[in-house]
Amino acid sequence: MHRGAAVLAFDVGGTDLKAALVDEAGSILEIVRVPTPRDGARTADAVVAQVGELARRLASSHPQVRPTAAGLLVPGYVDDEAGVGIFSENLGWTDYPFRARAESALGLVVAFGHDVRAAGEAEYRLGAAAPFRDVVVVTIGTGIAGAIFLEGRPYAGGGMAGEIGHSKVADGPECVCGRNGCLEAIASASAIARRYTFASGIAVNGAKEVLERAAFGDPVAAGIWESALDALALVFSHTVALLAPEAIVLGGGLAQAGALLLEPLERRLDAILTFQRRPQLLLASIGENAGVIGAALRARDLISRRGLV
């Protein structure tokens, strides 16, 4: 990142919550990663409390740095303008006023937004998506969603654009949204591990272990992985037909599979597409900290808009 105001950045995911302190030089001084708190109907309150605690922890570790604003990202259906988390199927909140509660907890102005759109914005401004005007940045982690950029501008569709994880691609399994056969229920990193455990009776730590088992000839693991690739390619073909992006950039935990993900996806996409513009399939370059970088960028943008420095 470039020089600018010091800011706090928080990226709330379905599994982990990351907090970072960025100084005026644009350096990330420290990143703290903790499990995302879950407390039933009070999960959103628990998230805000955790954000406040992590801010105090970072302030104690770096007393010389005084942040001017904070960026907070959450998953699900998000109204960036109103500062509200409208709905999260994975974490269970509805119409929660995140920005107002976070500003109260932190004593700072807060830029609020969707986790994948902001991470995609970081990739678009600083990473692998930067050379393109029409591009989709897809994050495949606990869930699956995309950040869309058309003619050099982000497109949010009132907070609903990019929720490709809930495209129906099969008759099952059941998704956390209540429907059956969503992409997210088949091809997200968490779903791959969950489906393997269900099919084999063997508990695994994550999708990486399923890929390793597939590489060593486990037919159940291979079948789970192949079906995930088929589902991703199908939804990407729909994305191409609708938006004609120059590139699709893949991030999130599953993208750490690298060529094991890209190469079979490319073959499958080539087999589906005919006259459509064939997008480049690329791996995100910023890495696992794209979310906190996106949150920091949004916090700095908010500072600039309000003339706070």
Q: Tell me what pLDDT residue 86 has.
A: 93
Total count of residues recorded for the chain = 309
Report the pLDDT averaged over residues 282-287.
93
308 pLDDT tier (thresholds 50, 70, 90) = low
Long-range contacts of the stretch 94-98 (C-beta < 8 A, 24+): 96/44, 98/44, 98/48, 98/72, 98/74
Quickly count: other Cβ atoms within 10 Å of residue 170's Cβ: 15
Q: What's the CATH architecture for 130-283? A: 2-Layer Sandwich (3.30)
Asked if 288 and 11 touch (Cβ cutoff 8 Å), the reply is: no
The residue ranges of every structural domain in the chain are 7-119+288-306, 130-283
Spatial CB neighbours of 267, under 8 Å, sequence gap ≥ 6: none
Strand 77-79 to 84-87 pairing? antiparallel
Same fold, 7-119+288-306 and 130-283: yes
- Structure letter (DSSP) for residue 141: S
Residue 158 confidence (pLDDT) above 90: no
Report the pLDDT averaged over residues 272-289.
94
Q: Which two tokens stand for residue 221?
A: 């693991």
Q: Which residues pair with 94 in a beta bridge?
A: 87
CA 134 to centroid of chain Cα atoms: 19
3 pLDDT tier (thresholds 50, 70, 90) = confident
Q: Does domain 7-119+288-306 have CATH number 3.40.640.10?
A: no
Residue 296 confidence (pLDDT) above 90: yes
**Distance between the two ends of the chain, CA-based, in angstroms?**
18
Report the pLDDT averaged over residues 89-104.
93
Report the pLDDT averaged over residues 113-127.
94
Residue type, 20: A
Please give the residue that has the higher pLDDT: either 14 or 134.
Answer: 134
Distance CA 83, CA 78 (A): 8
Convert the pLDDT of each residue in 15-72 to its tens digit: 899 999 999 999 999 999 999 999 988 999 999 999 999 999 999 999 999 999 999 9
Distance CA 107, CA 173 (A): 44
